[in-house]
Structure formats: structure tokens, C-alpha cells
Structure 1
Amino acid sequence: MNKYQRIIVIAAVVNIALMFLFPPFLDNPIRRGVLPSFEGFYPIYSAYGVKRIHNELLTLQVLFVVVNALLAWLLLDRRTASGEVPEFRYTRAIVFFLAGNLALLLAFPPFESYASLVKSQAATFDGYYFAFGDKRQRNIFVPLLYLEIILVVINVLAVWLSFNALRRAELFAKEKILELAQALPPGELAEVSETLGYRALHPVESGLGSGPDRRRFQDPRYRGPERRRGGDRRLKTRSAA
């Protein structure tokens, strides 16, 4: 399990825990012969035993989270020949993931039940159906659809912030290590650079353009090839003079 997969697992566990803490409940119809329908989400400690849990809806919610987590796990299960996690543009991947989830939610939205003959009875949630299927004449159960979209967006933003914080912490740690490595001998400095995967330059004597403000190693935030070749030409010019 790499560091990105660990974040996905934590997000999935938190979501499933929230689903069991606030499960969907059915109402208790007063009239005889009326089937119970979806009423809302309540804390498990306050409504359990008084109302029945909507097991079908809870199962769909858990499966939705598990499938998303498993898909993200498989996509992030990538390593190089050296066993390291390759760099990738996680922002673009997360945007595609968000678009896919929103498309799925809009393609199979929650629909209301058939209109009741009793005018005082409010519309209730009936199930998920294909938006362009034979149930398209019904009204969409808007509160549940809004809640699903909000939760998906919150999860995507949380994962993006976690990935971003992880990447920044990793780059900051490598930069600090490379700065401390400048005081090492050339042999040990080369070993540290090879271990970290960056090419560090051994500090040279102080001079014009070669002071502490000069970049002495490859910037880890720059993903392209290193364009500098050889030593410092200004030092060669001074030595020749």
C-alpha cells in the first residue's frame, strides 16, 4: 500500500463510518396496509429501535463507496522498476473521477413514488432508475440527489487537499535533506542524491554568481529534464584568466 492508497482507504473508512452513524430510516405509517417509505437520515443512537433502517438504501450507499475506493486503489497501484510511486497529475485524475461520479448520479437519479390519491401525503423516495427509462415521467427526489452531489464534491475536495498536502510535504522534506547534504563530502553527497532521485551539485567556492543564492540541485518541482550540463562556465573563465 503506497501513501496515496492509504489516503483512499482512510476516506472510504470515514465515509462508511458516517453512513452507519447516520443511516437512512423508514417511517412508521399510521394507516393500515400502507408500506413504510424512506423518511430521512437520523443518528443511529437516537432512532434505532424506534424506526426501521432502510437496509436497501444503506447497502447501495456502502457499495457506492466501496466500488469507488476499489477503483481508485487499482488506479493508484503503480510503481516504477525501483519500487517508487511514479509522479502523476492527480488533479486531472481527480477531476475525471468527479465527472464520472456526477455523470453516474445524474444518469440514475433518485425518483419519487407515484402520486398518491391523498393530497395531504407528501412525495417519498421510491428508488433509483435510469433517467431516460420508463420511469422518466416521475419526479426526481431532489433532496436526496442534492445530498449525494454535495457529499461527492466534499469527498473529492478532501482527497485533493490530502494529495496536495502529501506532495508538498514530500517535496519540502527532500529539499531540506538536499540543503543539509551540501556540507557532505562529494562521495557521500552523490550517494544522497542518488537515493533521493535528484542530482545535487557539490558546493563550490564563493564567487560571482555562485553564492548561496545559486541553485545547486535539480528543482524537484520541475519535472522536465535537467538542461544544465557540465560545471559552471563562469568558474572556468576565472580559472583560465
Structure 2
Amino acid sequence: MFGYVEWAGEKRVNSISAGEAVICGMRVYRVVIGRENRFWAGRAARAMQRGGIRQAIFPQGFPYPEVFLKRGVRPVDPQPLHRQLAAEAVRCAMVELGLTAGSAVTAVVGDRLSGDLQRAVTELCLRNRYVLLSVPYGAEAMCRGLQREYGVSVLQRPTVEQIERSDILLLFDRREELSLHNRCVLPLYEGGQERWVLGLPEQMKVPSGCEEEQLAAALVQTGILRANQIEVKSLRSNA
């Protein structure tokens, strides 16, 4: 079960409340903090620890994450969801940059041919004309399959110069030799510090004030949502 942290808002009290609740169809351990200060945040963190919670959804801009980390409660990591949404993020980047499917060049870079990377390359090839793929090994069979089944081609093992010239760089792993001066860089590895604005289905009653990326990641992990039901509405790259 995930935790869910929220402020009491105008109903400020010198206490916290804790217990199970349902958020967007997902059962959570909800803690409401009566006052916005470190002391009551610490009480909330202790309640979550006692409830056996290890990951939680926090309010936007929550100022006391270290208080929860000391109790073994960390924010839900959106990075696995970002990897599943890689092709959708490229679509969003193309819109923001004014690029078309027939002109944009996207480079996909990784250390191995993971399932998320394969899915991203497949979706990109079906939508876009120019896709570069840089992985050390294992891509040949997949690329032959794409050519045979869909009639699309992928430029394999591009040079560093070709990757540098691409409009959009999709990084599943770090590459120290790259300057990252592309028009859009999307780091999808741990520590990439990528922040996206996501759109959830309209029927989901998303609470105001929560970190929606964390909420979306939790909903996908629990199977309540599928990644393809989520829209990337805007990119805020910190690469």
C-alpha cells in the first residue's frame, strides 16, 4: 500500500490524522498534517512508519521530505513511469518544438535493449520517419523485425556526431561522451531529475495539491491505470 500525505489546509489543528482511504480508486494510508511545520511532519512520518508504509505521495513542494526519509518513507519514484511514457514524451517535445513526424530526428540511447527501450523505439518508428538507436548489442533482430512487420527502418549505431545533431535525445542511460546540447534532452535514468506535467483520464478525480507524477506512478504500479492512458502535457527538463 502507498502512503498519501496532505495538509489540513484551513482546518489547522495541533494534531495529525491517519488511516486508510481511497484516492482515485486506489487504497492508500492517508495522513493529514494539522499544521505546516517540521514537528507535525515528524509525527506524520512516524505514523506512516508504524503503518508499514515505504512509499508515499506528497503535496506539491513538500518542504520536509528528509523527515520521512529518516523513517524509511520515500516519495513514489516517477522514473519507471517516465520510461514507459518515453515515446509519448517525444510526441510532446515535438509539439513544443514545432517539429513534424517527417522532419524530426530522435536518437534513443541506452546501455542495453530493455523492454521499455524496445517499446519506445517501436512506437517512435511507427510515428516518425527518422529514429537513431545506439545500444551496444542486441538491436539487430528487433530492427529486422520492425522492417519486416511494419516496413520501417532504424539507423543503428549512429556516430556521436549524428546523435549530437538529433533534435530529441532520449537517454535511457548516461553517456558521458555526449554534450547534451540537443534541442530537447530527456534523461530517463535514475537521478535524471526530469519533471513532466501529466494528464490523467478525465474520470479520475485527482485531488488538488498533490504531486501528480507521484500519484500517476502509483496508479500505474497498482494496475489502476495503464501508461497509455496518461498524456504528457508539458516537459520541464532539468537535464
Q: Pick the structure with more strand per residue.
A: 2
- Which structure's residues are more often helix, by fraction? 1
**Structure with more contact order per residue of length (Cα contacts < 8 Å, sep ≥ 6):** 2
